[in-house]
Amino acid sequence: MEIERDQRRFKQIVRGRIRENLRKYITHGEMIGRKGKEAVSIPVPKLDVPRFRFGKNGSGGVGQGDGEEGDAVGKPGDGPDGSGGAGSEPGSGHLMEVEVSLEELAAMLGDELELPRIEPKGTANVVAEKSKYNSVRQTGPESLKHFKRTYLSALRRQISTGNYRPDDPKIVPIKRDKKYRSWNDIPKPQVNATVIYLMDVSGSMTDDQKEIVRTEAFWIDTWLASQYKGVEKRYIIHDAVAKEVDEHTFYHTRESGGTRISSAYQVCADLIEKSFPVADWNIYIFQFSDGDNWGDDNRQAFELLGEKLLPASNIFCYGQVESPYGSGDFIDALHQEYGENEKLVTSEIPDKDGIYKSIKKFLGKGK
């Protein structure tokens, strides 16, 4: 069909436009608010349609009028001023909303950042039973009656018993003709993954910094969800004290307490121990802070990191968002202590433009 071909072509153009601007979408969090369950609505700049462009009045060109050959040509702007008015057409900044599935968005992200596919832990396969309607039985609820099979069975019976009359082809199923759809339980291997986000919400973390964390977490979520079915997400916030919270609280809380990163590590370690057996789960930990840790807390934090979190996780990502004061030095201490550990990935995020590089660094290992 012509219209379907046009529609496909239009979709390709739109997808191409999104790919072109993906970097902009990654670094600006505007689409997060547009996220539905399966798709994201993305504003795409209006696609240009060819059209005539009119020049300025009196700016020359071939004309018709009262002039004689040899008359001087008037200069632009010599004529009387016209009165302008507001245009009735929409401006060129008008945006078109396009729905893109999260899976497709993840694929675009993977292409754009050249992200490798994730290799799940070998021992993390958990077998789950999944029902599939792939057989027929003699008994069952009427709602699952297989009409075609029932009809054929009745037809076969009537022909074999001589009750079928071609001039009056009535087929009347009796109880033993009835067939019902039935299911079998099929073992289906599943890979379990959990993403645990840790965020510093102390007084020195501003709203701008939390916006950076929010945007980065959205893209990490999108990518990991495309790699694993049913990713479990957990959120931990901390200042001097840490607690597990829901997603909304994670992004919208601001405290004024001091910064003790060890408190978040402790809550995270307890959560893993309680809910996510290391042998069965792929565990991803993403921590975001301005790195302005108080006093001698680094020592305690590193103990927990080295003994509990790094051994339990596939990868431990620490993103240091630069505070207005630039006073965070946790990342330097982390490098000194665990710089050689291959599970640790660190990234400094100076501003929104840094999100792009940071995501690539975090997810580029394919773990």
Partner 1 sequence: MTLRENILSQLPNTIGKQHQRVVAIDGPRTARCEVDQCDQLAVAVYELVLETSELANVEVAALHRASEALCKRVTYLLEPISPIETDADSCIVQMRSSPPQQHENGRFYYELMLRRGGAVTMYRYEKQPGSIRQRVAANITHEVLGRLVDDFNTTVEEVNGA
Summarize as ranges the residues that interact with partner 1 (CB under 8 A): 202-204, 239-240, 256-260, 294-295, 324-327, 329, 332, 350
Question: Least Å distance between CB 345 and partner 1?
Answer: 20
The residue among 173 and 354 lying less far from partner 1, judged by its C-beta, is 354
Shortest separation between residue 26's beta carbon and partner 1, angstroms: 23
Nearer to partner 1, 226 or 263 (CB): 263
Q: What is the DSSP string of 288-328?
A: EE-----TTHHHHHHHHIIIIIHHH-SEEEEEEEPPTT---
Shortest spacing between CB 267 and partner 1, in angstroms:
16
Least distance in angstroms from the C-beta of 329 to partner 1? 6
Is residue 354 within a helix (H) or strand (E), and if so which, with residue range? helix 354-363
The least CB distance from residue 334 to partner 1, in Å, is 14
Q: Are strands 281-289 and 315-321 parallel, antiparallel or unpaired?
A: parallel
- DSSP β-bridge partners for residue 288: 199, 319
CB atoms within 10 A of CB 117: 9
Q: How many CB atoms lie within 10 A of CB 22?
A: 18
Query: For partner 1, which is the closer residue by CB, 173 or 319?
Result: 319
Q: Which residue type, as a one-letter code, is found at position 326? A: G
Q: Which is nearer to partner 1, 160 or 256 (CB)?
A: 256
Q: How far apart are CA 50 and CA 68, in angstroms?
A: 37
Residue nearer to partner 1 on the CB measure, 74 or 350: 350
Structure tokens at 182: 């039935």
| 113 within 8 A of 363, measured Cβ to Cβ | yes
What SS3 class is residue 280?
coil
Least gap, CB of 106 to partner 1 (angstroms): 33
